[in-house]
């Protein structure tokens, strides 16, 4: 199963910041993320973060972006990680292979995209 | 755009490549990892694999002290015998320069800390664990340098090491090393940065002390962020001062090293065995322009076998680094130093607003497109006039809102000493605007005012020239007008710069040296190094101005050069490179 990982954090009044998006084929750079967001009118970036980070007002927006990227990268699921999840995995590992496996078992995993989208709601709206 | 293709991956390794022995012990830029090979092989390896006069030896603290309490300097393991290493180098007519990490070292496990001191992982400003992917794909986790036990152990280590130097008669120089990660979007980030619980606790003590001593009141998050920067700099200096004291006679200052392949996307890509080799060649030049020594130590050996290896040798080790370590210049002064036409003041990290920078007023995009890597972005306020030999030949750029008392004074001193300055007065504090007016009145200076996309004031004093512009108005201009603005303005400075017409993707870098005795026709000699890191053929034309003559073509690798009466044609095969020497006369 191919996983897409997204590390995000809640930053109080500043909303949610997306620090890294990556899978076992590599990481997405900042410019690509910005271009991707521009190409999806449903995603509205919090301008307070620009030009250093990608950030949003709500967690739904973070999830939406992650799902859209997941579909684009042809991944099976998204794993949303907090810095704490990521740090704990780093602390335990020193090599890439177990690192990705360990990450895949952490965080908030969202699978079965089609099923979710068929149920409606925000994600459903985006997937139709 | 298909994001599944966004990795821009130049190559993918399907099997784990076995690194060659010399790549493991010589990671690039003249470095030698003495702990990675048997001491009995040091001589043959140094003789065979290291060209040039210097052996740069990073000091591996944890290799000499597993616990942080006891030390091994040739007592037990022969590979800890630094005296032997210096003697071998001397016999090979090479000079050892030791690099002492003053912050977490990304090329060493635990950032270089002895095992028992690696207790709290350092976190970056986002709260993510600081780590670096090493050349072999493993992680080097970085630990907090804000732990008082680390500082005390560092003090003991530098003391023991300096004692060992004295006992064994080692007279090599020691240079402090600060480590940075480099990301094309975020720029340089200090690996000393830490937001772990250990940092927060020690910062709280610092804050308490300042509150008690100075009556400091913390009123908002921005102020707290600034104080954290102050505190980090304070601790950095503590480590540096400590090392300077310990090695006094050996101490030759501190260098900032930027490690290639350390951006977030690079690290995740490298974990997946994906490498953006082409971009590392660009990143290396960007780091030079940011006045940091680029290091390819973390990149796998396969990424360093082509253009990057030649850049690392020619531009970093034999030029940039030697120009930083001036005492190693040979007597004939044949060193080609980086040719810099423009110096841009780097903002103090606490300057507000932070986002108004050389990018938003269009200068940096213009320089990148027109005069790539012929500029230097650094803290102009931290260098004395004596350190800036030849600054009159360059155009210096200042940001009004980045000025402080010291930098304002230095700016005027440079102007009065014949310097050529462009000052973006946007957000300039009123205090400095008034002082500038007073300065002009006191010196009876007249300003010539022009309106071209924004207000421009031209002030001349002897050889010196100062142009004041309102960069805020430039922010609203469309790109083509911005480029035209900077082109017109910089043309008025009459710089002697050779223009290149060629396809994108060919990297070029200029260096310069004074003319020798046999080159009396010329004022100076300039070397143009061209690199084609892509997998495509490239062709470019160099138009020769009347004031320049081609002297010779050197280090040609997969390149054909055809000199014509008024221009030079260069055809480059994939991964080709060449250097051209030009004589410059008036």
Q: Is the full-model pTM beyond 0.95? A: no
Query: B127 to chain A: nearest residue by CA?
Result: A83
Which residues of chain B are within 8 Å of residue A24 when distances are taken between CB atoms?
272
Output the pLDDT for position A114: 46
| H or E stretch at B371 | none
Q: What are residue B548's DSSP bridge partners?
A: B584
Q: How far is A2 from chain B (nearest CA, A)?
A: 13
Residues 6+ apart with CB under 8 A from A64: A42, A43, A122, A123, A126
pLDDT at position B425 is 92
Q: Strand, helix or coil at B302?
A: helix
Which of the residues A27, A34, A66 would you substitute to probe the B interface, choosing the one with the greatest number of B C-beta atoms within 10 Å? A27
Q: Is the pLDDT of residue A124 over 60?
A: no
pLDDT computed for residue A118 by the predictor: 43
* Interchain contact, A9 vs B186, CB within 8 Å: no
Query: Encoding tokens for residue B16?
Result: 């784990």
Beta-carbon pairs below 8 A across chains A and B: 99
Containing B335, the helix (H) or strand (E) segment is none
CB distance B6–A94 less than 8 Å? no
Q: What is the total residue count of chain A?
A: 128
- Reported as a pLDDT band with limits 50, 70 and 90, residue B327 is low
Tokens of A30: 């900042």
Q: What is the pLDDT of residues B185-242, one digit of tens each?
A: 888 999 999 999 999 999 999 999 999 998 888 888 788 988 999 999 999 999 999 9
Nearest-by-Cβ selection for B121 from A29, A87, A99: A87
C-alpha pair distances (Å), B143 with each of B102, B131, B512: 13, 9, 41
Across B546-572, average pLDDT: 93
pLDDT of residue B239: 98
Instruction: Round to whole Å and give the CA distance between B317 and B288.
Output: 12
Question: What's the confidence (pLDDT) of residue A122?
Answer: 40
Q: What is the pLDDT of residue A72?
A: 85
Closest Cβ opposite residue B4 in set A39, A74, A83: A74
**Whether the predicted pLDDT of A123 surpasses 80:** no
In this predicted structure, the answer to whether residue A3 has a pLDDT above a threshold of 90 is no
Say which residues have a Cβ less than 8 Å from residue B324's Cβ, sequence separation at least 6.
B255, B293
Q: Which token pair is B260?
A: 């290639």
pLDDT grade for B530, boundaries at 50, 70 and 90: very high
Interchain pair B127, A69: CB under 8 A: no
What is the distance in angstroms between the Cα of A67 and the nearest Cα belonging to chain B?
Answer: 13
* Nearest residue of A to residue B262, measured between CA atoms: A27
Report the b/e string of A65-85 with b at 16+ CB within 10 A. bbbbbbbbbebebbbbbbbeb
* Closest residue to A25, CB basis, from B2, B274, B355: B274
Of B123, B266, B271, the CB nearest to A99: B271
Within 109-128 of A, beta carbons closer than 8 Å to B belong to none
Distance CA A28, CA A31 (A): 8
Distance to chain A for B38, nearest Cα, Å: 25
In angstroms, the separation between the Cα of residue B4 and the nearest Cα of chain A is 5
Cα A17 from Cα A62, distance rounded (Å): 8
Angstroms from B193 CA to nearest CA on chain A: 16
Nearest to B129 by CA among B78, B65, B185, B195: B195
**What sign for the dihedral angle of Cα B196, B201, B205, B207?**
positive
Where is B307: in which H helix or E strand? helix B307-311
Average pLDDT over residues B275-291: 90
Beta bridge partners of B173: B97
**Under DSSP, is residue B188 helix (H, G, I), strand (E, B) or coil?**
strand
Taking 80 as the threshold, does the pLDDT of residue B586 lie above it? no
């Amino acid at each position: 199963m191919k996983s897409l990982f997204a590390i995000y954090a809640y930053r109080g009044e500043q909303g949610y910041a997306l620090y890294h998006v990556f899978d076992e084929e590599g990481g997405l750079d900042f410019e690509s993320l910005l271009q991707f967001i521009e190409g999806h009118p449903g995603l509205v970036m919090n301008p307070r973060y620009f030009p250093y980070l990608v950030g949003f007002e709500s967690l739904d927006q973070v999830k939406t972006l992650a799902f859209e990227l997941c579909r684009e990268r042809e991944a099976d699921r998204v794993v949303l990680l907090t810095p704490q999840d990521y740090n704990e995995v780093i602390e335990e590992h020193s090599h890439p292979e177990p690192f990705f496996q360990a990450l895949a078992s952490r965080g908030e995993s969202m699978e079965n995209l089609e099923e979710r989208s068929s149920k409606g709601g925000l994600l459903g709206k985006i997937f139709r | 755009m298909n994001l599944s293709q966004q990795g821009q991956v130049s190559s993918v390794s399907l099997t784990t490549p076995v690194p060659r022995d010399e790549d493991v012990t010589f990671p690039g830029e003249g470095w030698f990892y003495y702990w990675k090979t048997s001491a009995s092989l040091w001589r043959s390896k140094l003789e065979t694999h290291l060209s040039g006069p210097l052996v740069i030896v990073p000091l591996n603290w944890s290799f000499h002290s597993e616990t942080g309490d006891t030390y091994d300097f040739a007592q037990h393991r022969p590979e800890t015998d630094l005296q032997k290493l210096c003697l071998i180098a001397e016999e090979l007519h090479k000079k050892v320069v030791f690099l002492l990490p003053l912050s977490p070292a990304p090329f060493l496990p635990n950032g270089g800390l002895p095992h028992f001191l690696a207790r709290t992982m350092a976190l970056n400003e986002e709260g993510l664990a600081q780590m670096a992917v090493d050349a072999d794909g493993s992680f080097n986790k970085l630990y907090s340098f804000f732990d008082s036990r680390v500082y005390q152990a560092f003090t003991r280590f530098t003391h023991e090491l300096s004692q060992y130097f004295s006992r064994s008669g080692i007279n090599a120089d020691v240079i402090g090393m600060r480590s940075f990660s480099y990301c094309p979007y975020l720029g340089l980030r200090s690996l000393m940065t830490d937001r772990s619980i250990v940092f927060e606790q020690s910062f709280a003590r610092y804050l308490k002390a300042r509150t008690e001593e100075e009556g400091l009141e913390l009123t908002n998050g921005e102020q707290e962020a600034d104080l954290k920067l102050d505190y980090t700099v304070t601790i950095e200096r503590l480590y540096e001062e400590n090392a300077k004291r310990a090695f006094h006679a050996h101490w030759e200052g501190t260098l900032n090293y930027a490690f290639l392949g350390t951006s977030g996307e690079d690290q995740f890509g490298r974990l997946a065995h994906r490498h953006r080799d082409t971009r590392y060649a660009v990143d290396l030049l960007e780091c030079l322009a940011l006045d940091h020594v680029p290091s390819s130590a973390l990149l796998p050996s396969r990424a360093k076998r082509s253009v990057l290896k030649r850049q690392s040798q020619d531009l970093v080790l034999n030029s940039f680094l030697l120009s930083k370590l001036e005492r190693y210049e040979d007597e004939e002064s044949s060193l080609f130093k980086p040719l810099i036409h423009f110096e841009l003041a780097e903002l103090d990290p606490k300057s507000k607003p932070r986002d108004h920078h050389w990018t938003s007023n269009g200068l940096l995009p213009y320089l990148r497109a027109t005069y790539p890597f012929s500029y230097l972005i650094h803290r102009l306020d931290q260098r004395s006039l004596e350190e800036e030999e030849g600054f009159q030949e360059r155009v210096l750029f200042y940001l009004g809102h980045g000025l402080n008392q010291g930098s304002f004074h230095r700016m005027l001193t440079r102007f009065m000493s014949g310097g050529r300055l462009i000052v973006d007065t946007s957000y300039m504090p009123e205090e400095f605007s008034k002082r500038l007016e007073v300065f002009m009145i006191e010196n009876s200076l007249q300003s010539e005012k022009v309106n071209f996309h924004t207000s421009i004031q031209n002030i001349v004093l002897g050889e010196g020239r100062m142009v004041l512009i309102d960069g805020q108005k430039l922010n609203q201009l469309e790109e083509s007008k911005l480029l035209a603005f900077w082109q017109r303005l910089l043309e008025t400075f009459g710089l002697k710069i050779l223009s290149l017409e060629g396809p994108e993707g060919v990297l070029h870098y200029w260096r310069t040296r004074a003319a020798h005795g046999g080159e009396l026709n010329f004022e100076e000699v300039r070397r143009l190094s061209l690199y084609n890191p892509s997998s495509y053929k490239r062709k470019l034309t160099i138009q020769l101005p009347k004031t320049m003559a081609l002297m010779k073509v050197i280090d040609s690798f997969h390149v054909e050069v055809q000199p014509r009466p008024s221009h030079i044609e260069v055809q480059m095969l994939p991964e080709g490179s060449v250097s051209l020497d030009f004589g410059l006369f008036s």
